[in-house]
Amino acid sequence: MISIIILGSGNVAKHLFDTFLGQNEINILQVIGRNKDHLSYFKSKVEVSNDFNTIQDADLYLIAVSDDAIPEVAKTLRGKKGIVAHCSGSVPLKALDPINRRAVFYPLQSFSAGKKIDFKSVPICIEAENKNDLNLLEQLGNSISNNVQEVSSEQRKSLHLAAVFVNNFTNHLFHIGHEICEDNDLPFHILLPLIKETVKKLDYITPLNAQTGPARRNDRSTIENHLNQLKTKNNKDIYTLLSKSISEKYRNEL
């Protein structure tokens, strides 16, 4: 049995809480957070507090707050014997207080309010300062996911950067596609089979090999037509830059 205290009450805290709650080998002792309204989500199921002086002893303290707030929350845990792990993609382990047993428990997923996540496939990236602590995090990770990996602070930083490209930026391209559809009385869902196929291909070919379209062929007349169709400078710039980046990548095959 692993005893856990969650510090934080936002999206990541809620998703982890909901998932841990269903596990026999995990005992959530408290959820601690500054925001009383957010704490109401947890209070029927576990002890909650917005007083950081009431924090009990536990095997593991999970800091699930915004990156900026991690050092401050970590300070409230000085003197605790349990492992202190944050859940951030971009903050190094060393940002935690060296007086504690420092660790990281980073679920690589984009959490939205109100949308349940099946953790089984979520990669859990763990890091710790010694083997015992790493084992405990691995045990915790394995209880909710089939995909637990040791990832260094340096690697995690890169992973977070890559995630911005494949999630944040990709989603913004979906938004531009959505706008183009709306402007032309087309339902956005007409693009969904294409989007789903784009992703399905990644299971068996690299994105480098999967690339198609006018930019790969350096088809200047289609590219010019598309640029003429776009209405905002922003979208023209995005089209131009991404097309250039693709064309350069495949220059040698033309």
Among positions 118-147, residues that touch a second copy (CB under 8 A) are 121-123, 147
Residue 178 binds a second copy (CB under 8 A): yes
Residue 246 binds a second copy (CB under 8 A): yes
Residue 212 binds a second copy (CB under 8 A): yes
Q: Hey, which residues between 10 and 29 contact a second copy (CB under 8 A)? A: none
Which of 193, 83, 61 lies closest to 128, judged by CA? 83
Residue 183 binds a second copy (CB under 8 A): yes
Nearer to a second copy, 29 or 126 (CB): 126
Residue 87 binds a second copy (CB under 8 A): no
CA distances from 139 to 117, 132, 235, 252 (A): 20, 11, 46, 48
Tell me how far apart the alpha carbons of residues 245 and 215 are, in angstroms, rounded to a whole number.
9
Tell me how far apart the alpha carbons of residues 74 and 7 are, in angstroms, rounded to a whole number.
9
SS3 state at 25:
coil
Q: Which stretch binds a second copy (CB under 8 A): 1-9, 72-80, 128-136, 231-239?
A: 231-239
Nearer to a second copy, 56 or 90 (CB): 90
Residue 172 binds a second copy (CB under 8 A): yes
Name the CA radius of gyration of the chain, rounded: 23
SS3 state at 103:
strand
**How many residues interact with a second copy (rule CB under 8 A)?**
87
> Nearest distance from residue 220's CB to a second copy, in Å?
11
Nearer to a second copy, 71 or 123 (CB): 123
Q: 40 Cβ partners below 8 Å, 6+ apart? A: none
Tell me how far apart the alpha carbons of residues 79 and 76 are, in angstroms, rounded to a whole number.
9
Angle at the Cα of 85 from the Cα atoms of 162 and 27, rounded to 5 degrees: 120
Residue 155 binds a second copy (CB under 8 A): yes
Nearer to a second copy, 50 or 240 (CB): 240
Residue 211, CB-side half-sphere exposure with 13 Å CA sphere: 17
> Nearest distance from residue 138's CB to a second copy, in Å?
16
Residue 193 binds a second copy (CB under 8 A): yes
Residue 159 binds a second copy (CB under 8 A): yes
Residue 195 binds a second copy (CB under 8 A): yes
